[in-house]
């Protein structure tokens, strides 16, 4: 169950949002009384309420907005209990001052906005001893392991416990709370009105993550990155899992470099069965794997990890997705290992994406030139795959059949830039832009206007995700659905 926290300065707005959320399917609402300006009319708020309610009036030192006296705040909470509120949220030092009355259930809570203390089990025991129906602990996550510590506490607690880690690192604890036995988790009314760090909106929790479908036996899949908030992977993977009725949830984990090894060790305890791996972990993950496929070995980067009987097994789905995308545009089969033989390709850029592209194109028989802004790195990449290094300033003079942009040029918000001159584009060329946000970059638009064949970064992204999905679940991915979901997400109305 999701509890949606709403906080408005005016009573009528609070009540209107309460009704709206219930109409949208919310089963539990937290009314943040500390946000109300002026007289707080508890009876009016609770009369005819459309769903069960938690009454919360948080002090400033506890992350709230209440600025009255402590006695006034306690009186507000006592009144809420007297009026029959369904739940009342009480801090540890407040619980003994608000006696149990009627059918109101007591949530005894603790907040730490700086860290997840080492002694959270002791804190939990103190809260549970204060006549708590539910214990709530919300702490700041400083490392990914804090999520595991909190969720394991929830799982082992005899008293129903809501355990949440705050901040971007702590977001997984909000999404996996139900899997580990939490009676509910928290969301906010709107993604632009978060009341705690790392909080997701009710819409995200329901429409992207399908929170109420996550059970104790749900398999967990995840994307790991730093940062991770921009990742579109949860959108496409969760849409596919939901569409096919697979009992799985795909969750974003922000994993700083220094915590990668620890996270990979902890992952099975979180129920994680597969990982999408992206910047900055594609190379750093490899030493921690038990087995890697040939592509990972040759490219030197893994973007997929599967937990199997063999341990942690690494794959790279980028190379295959690149070839599938090109073959689809050329109306041929990439299974013919030399389907690009006799063609000359120019790669713009010398980073991680360029490495996967160079590997894929050379393996398929193409003659490849690489132009990058950093001469030393460009030469290293070219030497690795038997390609020709080209000075960045000379890139326009390369006569090529296939042009692949592996730079961020053209990516939002710099959508008015292109790494290649329009007048150099020829109708006989295939132009592949690995940038997917926006899908139609300036390079793609100009290539299309010149009659070139087009492969978009969106196509590559969806195809590599589809291969991952199959590795994770054993199911054939619903590629058309994944493509549509991503296209809607990065459309003009939502480019961000």
Task: Choose the catalytic residue: 136, 237, 242, 281.
Answer: 136
Which residue is catalytic, options 62, 318, 369, 433?
Answer: 318
Whether 423 is catalytic: no
The reply to whether 426 belongs to the active site is no
* Residue of 237, 242, 281, 282 marked catalytic: 282
| Closest by Cα among 302, 298, 405 to 359 | 298
Is 44 one of the annotated active-site residues of the chain? no
Residue corresponding to tokens 């992207």: 208
Choice among 111, 179, 242, 259 that is catalytic: 111
Q: Is 318 a catalytic residue?
A: yes
* Residues noted as catalytic: 111, 136, 282, 318
């Amino acid at each position: 169950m999701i509890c949606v926290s709403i906080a408005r300065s005016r009573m009528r707005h609070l009540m209107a949002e309460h009704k709206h959320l219930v109409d949208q399917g919310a089963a539990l609402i937290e009314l943040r009384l500390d946000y109300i300006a002026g007289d707080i009319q508890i009876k009016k708020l609770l009369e005819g309420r459309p769903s069960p309610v938690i009454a919360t009036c948080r002090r400033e030192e506890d992350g709230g907005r209440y600025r009255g006296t402590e006695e006034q705040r306690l009186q507000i909470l006592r009144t809420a209990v007297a009026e029959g509120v369904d739940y009342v949220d009480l801090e540890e030092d407040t619980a003994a001052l608000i006696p149990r009355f009627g059918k109101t259930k007591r949530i005894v809570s603790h907040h730490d906005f700086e860290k997840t203390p080492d002694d959270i089990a002791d804190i939990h025991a103190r809260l549970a001893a204060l006549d708590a129906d539910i214990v709530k602990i919300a702490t700041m996550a400083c490392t990914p392991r804090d999520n595991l510590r909190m969720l394991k506490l929830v799982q082992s607690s005899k008293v129903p416990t809501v355990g949440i880690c705050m901040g971007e690192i702590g977001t997984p604890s909000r999404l996996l709370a139900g899997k580990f036995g939490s009676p509910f988790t928290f969301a906010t009314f709107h993604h632009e009105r978060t009341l705690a760090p790392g909080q997701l909106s009710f819409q995200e929790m329901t429409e992207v993550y399908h929170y109420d479908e996550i059970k104790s036996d749900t398999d967990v899949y995840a994307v790991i990155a730093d940062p991770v908030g921009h990742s579109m992977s949860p959108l496409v993977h969760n849409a596919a899992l939901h569409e096919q009725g697979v009992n799985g949830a795909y969750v974003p984990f922000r994993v700083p470099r220094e915590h990668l090894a620890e996270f990979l060790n902890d992952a099975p305890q979180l129920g994680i069965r597969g990982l999408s791996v992206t910047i900055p972990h594609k190379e750093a993950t490899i030493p921690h794997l038990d087995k890697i496929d040939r592509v990972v070995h040759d490219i030197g980067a893994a973007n997929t990890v599967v937990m199997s009987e063999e341990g942690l097994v690494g794959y790279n789905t980028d190379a295959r997705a690149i070839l599938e995308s090109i073959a689809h545009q050329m109306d041929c089969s990439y299974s013919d290992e030399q389907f690009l033989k006799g063609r000359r390709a120019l790669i713009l850029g010398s980073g991680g994406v360029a490495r996967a592209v160079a590997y894929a194109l050379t393996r398929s028989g193409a003659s490849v030139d690489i132009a990058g802004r950093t001469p030393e790195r460009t030469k290293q990449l070219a030497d690795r795959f038997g390609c020709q290094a080209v000075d960045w300033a000379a890139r326009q003079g390369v006569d090529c059949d296939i042009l692949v942009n592996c730079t961020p040029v053209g990516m939002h918000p710099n959508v008015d830039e292109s790494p290649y001159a329009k007048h150099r584009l020829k109708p006989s060329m295939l132009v592949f832009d690995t940038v997917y946000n926006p899908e139609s970059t300036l390079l793609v638009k100009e290539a299309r206007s010149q009659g070139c064949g087009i492969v978009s970064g969106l196509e590559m992204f969806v195809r590599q995700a589809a291969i991952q999905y199959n590795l994770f679940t054993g199911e054939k991915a619903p590629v058309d659905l994944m493509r549509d979901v991503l296209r809607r997400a990065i459309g003009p109305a939502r480019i961000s």
